Structure 1
């Protein structure tokens, strides 16, 4: 395994790593003889050219254990897939034209700064969604629509395989897996001509490879970032300086996405924010530079749901939108199982109402993730896992309600 990782990183198996570290701590991570970088992205090890992608394994999805027929009568039976959906090997070309919306897991937590364990989030979220099923997919709040049985064929794509030993390799594996799925044709192209994915994390670092994979299809997107934290921190503020590997994490990925030109210039928003800052002015100024405005968690009490939705709609306008929901946007009373917990958040009902309001407004959603679910900290009642399942169900309603067409070249 160790020689394979060295090969992935382009390092010789017989080279003396200890000697290099003693003389130049960064030499194993970068080319000491390269010309001076002209930008942050050029200097970052996470630039795409800095890994030999040829040596990465082919994209692979790992199937949940399931039997969809077991669930038709009793929702607590039929372990495995999200809401007892059928499983599809979504990274294979043979799956092109077989589905419209996929649920995909990213079992990754190499970018956390506090409590780890998010790699178990996809499995636990599927368990939290076992009360849902296509056979009983209607509810009292969506006007007789069953999102599993509407125009869109919905499937569980399993988990994208990624190494737990190397952050750099894992991020590229996740990106390649998402690219493979995004290349597939949608089943109902007359209604919505692109496959769309709802990703279950995993820590929030996974949003970076997802946005990279989306860019070739949708170009720059406006990110609606439901999170107690900003996640646009400059690596110099959070994680940087130790090694190049530390530059990307679950608090810097949106900064890097901006530097790579993946985000809208002015239409991104943080929603439910309430975090500590490292500096009196710099963090918020840098956040503005990255194209974000924000609605703090406490503002919901004065604005109300309707005004929050209107402000979001006004900000994003007609742009394509990527939705990223860190489960810590909810108050710990409603979602205790998360990695970097912050008191004073929104209720599950308030979050669902805001997402539903954006759907009603016709915001063009092209993809989504729900991240930072750390099941080891959940209650015995599976409070967080069930909330994650319900949030994904609400996002699914949004995608079904608002079909999208690819931008014209």
Structure 2
């Protein structure tokens, strides 16, 4: 077979096979190119394609875990789901129909956003097979507003709606990295009032990766976990391509160290959201986003590796 350079041919994430048939797949990369829920900058609809493009620079072996994640599991790239730009409720209904038909119970999805509003239909799809989920949420913002501009569906509301629908268990959920100015003096305490554990960025900055990962482990327990990662959890010096950047966040090295220490949790699904390629000079955010998705793939695979 002729050699194919990394920059050539059709682009899937990490050169994974593309298929719309997820029967038999252990992990699926699924793009959700929807950004109608955004409140400031828009353009996250182009995130899935840019993440796939940046993944051309990745190699398949994970030196920290010492295995090839995509060989441990059968991993595929589903491509993107259909969306209706401008119509959140209709898009979320379409996603429920599409994902409900496509996702088998044994497949762990890794969703590529899109703005953070997509977490609601993605959680619906994952909870359909797993019941109420523990949520591990990395973000600068709480995303628990009761409404956004008077509307129920936006990138500031997904976890309020998820709680109301019984998709996530607040007693097993944790938000990490919250920071920055807010609209109202009561906003910082809103997640706590809803039952979440919160590790604000000022607190997280004083914790080692081991200590922070252990706090997450203690919170979520042994049940199914959904990890939602807003790229703005990382400082805009390392991830400028995002919709609502907040200074003072994690470095890329810190976030990799924390994620790797979550190995062994029972991950049922992941999403990576709020990446805007148009605001990403030199592809810095795209490179980080692709590496984070590679870490998610490794976290899905590591439970299948015999203890060493």
* Residue of structure 2 aligned with 1:258, choices 143, 163, 177: 163
Mapped to 2, the partners of 1:86 and 1:303 lie a distance apart of 39
Equivalent position of 1:210 in the other structure: 122
**Worse overlay, 272-281 or 349-358:** 272-281
Q: CA deviation at 1:197?
A: 0.5
Mapped to 1, the partners of 2:253 and 2:17 lie a distance apart of 28
SS state of the match for residue 322, structure 1? Answer: strand
Correspondence 1:267-278 to 2 at 5 A: 267-278=172-183
Mapped to 1, the partners of 2:167 and 2:193 lie a distance apart of 14
SS state of the match for residue 266, structure 1? Answer: helix
Mapped to 1, the partners of 2:188 and 2:275 lie a distance apart of 26
Correspondence 1:5-404 to 2 at 5 A: 72-90=3-21, 95-97=22-24, 99-132=25-58, 136-143=59-66, 145-150=67-72, 152-182=73-103, 184=104, 194-235=106-147, 238-240=148-150, 246-281=151-186, 283-359=187-263, 362-379=264-281, 381-403=282-304
With over 3 angstroms needed to count, the CA separation of the structure-2 counterparts of 1:265 and 1:333, relative to structure 1, is: closer
Mapped to 2, the partners of 1:110 and 1:355 lie a distance apart of 29
Q: CA deviation at 1:202?
A: 0.3
Count of residue pairs brought into register by the alignment: 304
SS state of the match for residue 30, structure 2? Answer: strand
Between 1 and 2, higher relative CO (CA 8 Å, sep ≥ 6) is seen in 2
SS state of the match for residue 302, structure 1? Answer: coil
Q: CA deviation at 1:314?
A: 0.9
- Give the 4+ runs in structure 1 shifted more than 4 A: none
Q: CA deviation at 1:279?
A: 2.3
* Aligned alpha-carbon RMSD (Å): 1.6
Question: What are the ranges of 5 or more consecutive residues in structure 2 without an aligned counterpart?
Answer: none
Mapped to 1, the partners of 2:57 and 2:161 lie a distance apart of 38
Instruction: Kindly name which structure, 1 or 2, has the bigger radius of gyration based on alpha carbons.
Output: 1
Mapped to 2, the partners of 1:103 and 1:345 lie a distance apart of 26
